[in-house]
Amino acid sequence: MDTQTLVGHLRLERLEVNLFRGVTPDEESRERIYGGQVIAQSLLAAYETVQDRVCHSLHCYFIRPGDPTVPIIFDVDRSRDGGSFTTRRVVAIQHGQQIFNLAASFQVEEQGFEHQSDMPAAPGWDEVEDDTDVQRRLMKDAPAEQRAWLDRPQPIEMRTVGGRFDVARPQPRAPLQQVWFRAKDGIGADPHMHQVILAYASDMSLLGTSIRPHGVSWQTPGFQTASLDHAMWFHRPTDFNEWHLYHQESPSASGGRGFNLGYIYRASDGALVASCAQEGLMRVRQAKG
C-alpha cells in the first residue's frame, strides 16, 4: 500500500450530519486494526465537523481490538464551539460496540510566546539504513510468507538509528530509540491530511520503546502487547513528506503496562512539530499446565 492508497483508504463516507463510515485496507495477515489507522480516521471524522481551525491535541483510548473485515462507524459529538477553541468527541463502533474513542481540540490560528527543546543529537537520516532492508537481512531464513510481507508497498518510510532489533533473537536494549520517518509518497497540499498521516505514523514504533529493555518480542511465546491509550499534541504545522526525527523514551514499565513518550522534530530546521504519550499492555502469559 503506497501513501496515496493509504490516503484513499483513510477517507470517510458521510452517512449523516455527524455520522461517518470508514474501511480498513485489505491486508490478509492483519488480525486486528492497526491503532494508527483508527486514530487517523477518527481525527478525519472530527475535521469533517470543524471549519477554519487546526487540531492542537488529541487524547484517545483503545477499548476493543478492531475487526479489519468490517467497516467502522464514527459518531462525532460536537461538544463545544467556542470563540478560540472547538472540542469534538469521536466514538468508533463495530458490531454494536465501542472499539475506540477520541477527544480532540481545535484552535483558530494565533500568535504567541514560543520556545522549544533542541532536537537531540542523532545520525542523519541519510546515514541510517532503511528498516525494511534491515528486516530483510534479519529474516532471510524466515518462512516465505513472512518475507513476502516485507515486499509490500509501505506508505511510511522508517529508518531506526542502530537498526531494528531481531524479533527472533531479541536482546535487551536501553528504553530509548530514535526513528527517522516520513510519508514515502506525496500526500498533497491539504495541511490537515499531513497532520492525519503524522498521527497515523506516530503509533508505529512508540510502544516498542518500553519493550526494548526486557529482551522480548512479538515472537516470544506468550508475550502480549497492545496500545491502551494515545495522546498527541501538534505544536507546529509541518510537511510530512519531509524527514522527521521521532525521539522516543520509556521512563517506566509496571503492572503489565509500559509508558512511552515521543517527540517529533523536523529535520530541515529542528522544529519540534509534535509530542506523543502512550501506555501499552506488555505481559507474558504463562502456558496453562
Q: Which of 105, 135, 275, 278 is catalytic?
A: 278
For the chain, what percent of residues have pLDDT higher than 70?
92
pLDDT digit string, tens, across residues 114-159: 999 999 999 999 999 998 888 778 777 666 766 666 667 789 999 9
pLDDT digit string, tens, across residues 190-229: 999 999 999 999 999 999 999 999 988 877 888 889 999 9
pLDDT digit string, tens, across residues 81-114: 999 999 999 999 999 999 999 999 999 999 999 9
Q: Which residue has the cell 507474558?
A: 284
Query: Three-state SS across the chain?
Result: CCHHHHHHHHCCEEEECCEEEECCCCCCCCCCCCHHHHHHHHHHHHHCCCCCCEEEEEEEEECCCCCCCCCEEEEEEEEEECCCEEEEEEEEEECCEEEEEEEEEEECCCCCCCCCCCCCCCCCHHHCCCHHHHHHHHCCCCCHHHHHHCCCCCCEEEEECCCCCCCCCCCCCCCEEEEEEEECCCCCCCHHHHHHHHHHHHCCCCCHHHHHHHCCCCCCCCEEEEEEEEEEEECCCCCCCCCEEEEEEEEEEECCEEEEEEEEEECCCCCEEEEEEEEEEEEECCCCC
Cβ–Cβ under 8 Å, residues 42 and 196:
no
Q: What is the mean pLDDT of residues 263-272?
A: 98
Cβ within 8 Å of residue 102, ≥6 positions away:
39, 42, 43, 46, 58, 59, 60, 89, 90, 92
Q: Is the pLDDT of residue 28 over 70?
A: no
275 is catalytic: no
For the chain, what percent of residues have pLDDT higher than 90?
75
4 is catalytic: no
For the chain, list the domains and their CATH numbers.
Answer: 1-109 (3.10.129.10), 125-289 (3.10.129.10)
Cβ–Cβ under 8 Å, residues 170 and 220:
yes
Q: Which of 37, 203, 248, 250 is catalytic?
A: 203
57 is catalytic: no
Q: Which of 42, 205, 227, 248 is catalytic?
A: 227
Q: What is the mean pLDDT of residues 51-75?
A: 96
Cβ–Cβ under 8 Å, residues 197 and 240:
yes
* 68 Rama class: left (phi>0) / alpha (psi -120 to 50) / beta: alpha
Q: What is the pLDDT of residue 133?
A: 85
Question: Which pLDDT band, with edges at 50, 70 and 90, does 257 fall under?
Answer: very high
Query: In this structure, which amino acid lies at residue 81?
Result: D
Q: Is the pLDDT of residue 260 over 80?
A: yes
| Average confidence score pLDDT of the chain | 91
Q: What is the pLDDT of residue 217?
A: 80
Q: What is the pTM of this model?
A: 0.93
Compute the distance between CA of residue 140 and CA of residue 120 in angstroms, rounded to an integer. Answer: 33
